[in-house]
Amino acid sequence: MKNTFLGFVFLSVVWLSSCGGSASPEKKPGSSVTTMTEQADTSVEGQPVNNITAVSGESDGVIQLTNAIFLEKVYDYKKDPKKWVFKGDKPCIIDFYADWCRPCKMVAPIMEEFSGKYKGQVVIYRVNVDQERELAQFFGIQSIPTVFFCPSTGEPQMTQGALPKETYEKIVTEVLLKKKK
């Protein structure tokens, strides 16, 4: 009985840290970050996330990203799907989420905070995988939340599952802003 209970607790913890997911991409040793080359809601706990916009230009807050805006502002995977060519002038974070995903709702306020903290340095985007299925499929999103970190130069990296704010912060400073702590 005790083993059954412990098994249930373990499975609950795994389920709560990530929605979906079957096969996940290879991760760098000792890291929760995966590079792109290693893999071919607007509410949180009932509170609205205030600064999510659905415009294609630069703005305050988190920008809701559609496939068309992604092709224009981030990467035109239709032009050359095998070679990453970042189109932005600032590094960006792309949060792949779904409205029904509880761990995604835990990541949303972190991204909202980062949109203010790194304003003018990093652009924060969100992609609803239920609405932008082609984009999610192209990148092989099988587990949400999945967060992409796209530096101005070099390959993007990604994380899966709801990670602590400190982990995201470290990736922003060391990968996107190239500052070693």
Contact between 150 and 65 under an 8 Å Cβ cutoff? The reply is: no
Q: How far is CA 143 from CA 85, 90, 98, in A?
A: 24, 26, 10
19 classed as catalytic = no
Question: Tokens in use for 90?
Answer: 């600032």
150 classed as catalytic = no
Q: Which of 19, 92, 104, 150 is catalytic?
A: 104
Question: How far is the C-alpha of 70 from the C-alpha of 175, rounded, in Å?
Answer: 21
Encode 126-163: b = buried (16+ Cβ within 10 Å), e = exposed: bbbbeebeebbeebebbbbbbbbbbbeeeebbbbbbbb
Element (H, E) at 93: strand 92-97
Question: How far is the C-alpha of 46 from the C-alpha of 170, rounded, in Å?
Answer: 28
Torsion of CA 27, 29, 33, 37, to 10 degrees: -50
Q: Which residues are identified as catalytic?
A: 101, 104
